Amino acid sequence: METPYSVLDPDERPRRGRFWIGLAVGGLVAVAVMIAVGHFSRRALSMDVDSLPAPPPPVAVRTTATDTSQSSGIDVSRRNAIVRAVDRVALAVVTISVTQVQRERVTSPFADDPLWRFFFPDIGQEFERRVRSMGSGFIVSPDGLVLTNEHVIRGASEIVVSLPDGRTFNGKVSGEPDAQSDIAVVKISGSDLPVAPLGRSDDLMIGEWAIALGNPFGFLIRDSHPTVTVGVISALNRNFDVTSAGGGSYRDMIQTDASINPGNSGGPLVNSEGYVVGINTFIFTQGGGSEGIGFAIPIEKARQSMQDVLRFGQVRHNFWTGIHIQDVNRWIAESLGLPDDRGAIITEVEPNSPGAKGGLRRGDVILAVNGNAVTGDKDVRREFVGAVVGQRIEFTIVREGRRRQMTITLEEDPASRRTRE
């Protein structure tokens, strides 16, 4: 009969007992060793910590000259070119509050009925309504001349000019505001008036900094300090037709992405050196707000208009060139050896005229005016829209097969001069 697996041989039992006893003794020894090692390790660690030197007492932090210079360096770095430019101009930027008197008539289909007029005598009568609006401007002379847009003060019966320092003055329009160039000059009387330095607009570079200042809040807040927006000069010499510009003549406009919002009209556009290079005038928008496409009148053109207003009482658009032109047709182009029939040919140059003084001759073919290519005499005439007496006009012409650059300076029409005299 086979022995079951659980039954051990009598000779095997002592060996199995000794195995389990040895295993138990080995375990006890291992535990004892671990306890001993831990004890001595803790003791050694305790001795090492106790033997370390005591930490030094805390040292009080004092502000030294070096710390002050570092703080000043941070302040100086924050005062960048934009901050310095704004400082030069901001105090001369003014808020122009305008009151207009509008006449309205109460109308009714029964206005001519005597019975209705008996019970409602106000039908058909005119009433006056006072409307307030606001724009911006900037002081350009110590005696209180303020430049702004004509549409800011249009129809004004009362003008109040507010300075950032809290002073307010009654303003008076100087001369005749010019709707065609959208320039107006307002005069205030005061002392210690800040002045915005005027720069140049004929050397602007696309991509350079542009800073727009003005008051876009209107009457929402009682604060006459200007708002500053920053962008770049996006484009130059932008021209708009009279029909698309609401009747005004906007030529050689400065385009910028510095935000120009309602209320900013008439405020200065400033370069990074703190000089006024333009007058913020209008924006292109589809939703009513700023979309990064704003336009400013070049300060050179505004300065010329202001000088005319102060000297002659109005901007002189009655200029004279003394040249007569017509379209270049195919026969003229072939006879002159031109590659096509684009341009306008000068048919006559009056003696002692601006054209004659500028070196233009009969037979010269005009290809461009002020850098803008022309295809015919209509394009040439369009380039003179909004021009003023004293303005310089550049021509690109072809004479005897060679291109030339000619410049004339517009003069007052002799007929207008004789009438004034």
User: Which positions are catalytic?
Assistant: 151, 182, 265
Answer yes or no: are the C-beta atoms of 186 and 143 closer than 8 Å: no
Answer yes or no: are the C-beta atoms of 364 and 346 closer than 8 Å: yes
DSSP assignment of 110-140: TTT-HHHHHH-TTTT-EEEEEEEEEEEEEE-
In whole angstroms, what is the distance from residue 13 CA to residue 335 CA? 136
In whole angstroms, what is the distance from residue 270 CA to residue 197 CA? 10
C-alpha distance from residue 374 to each of 356, 371, 383 (Å): 21, 9, 9
Q: Give the residue from 388, 383, 354 showing the smallest Cα distance to 371.
A: 383
Among all chains, which residue has been given the structure tokens 């005004």? 248
For residue 314, the SS3 value is coil
In whole angstroms, what is the distance from residue 392 CA to residue 409 CA? 4
Which residue intervals of 337-392 are DSSP H helices? 354-357, 377-382
Point out which residues pair with 255 in neighbouring strands.
235, 295
Among all chains, which residue has been given the structure tokens 């700023």? 290
Residue 103 buriedness (CB in 10 A; 0-12 / 13-18 / 19+): exposed
- Which phi and psi angles does 147 have, rounded to 5°? -95, 140
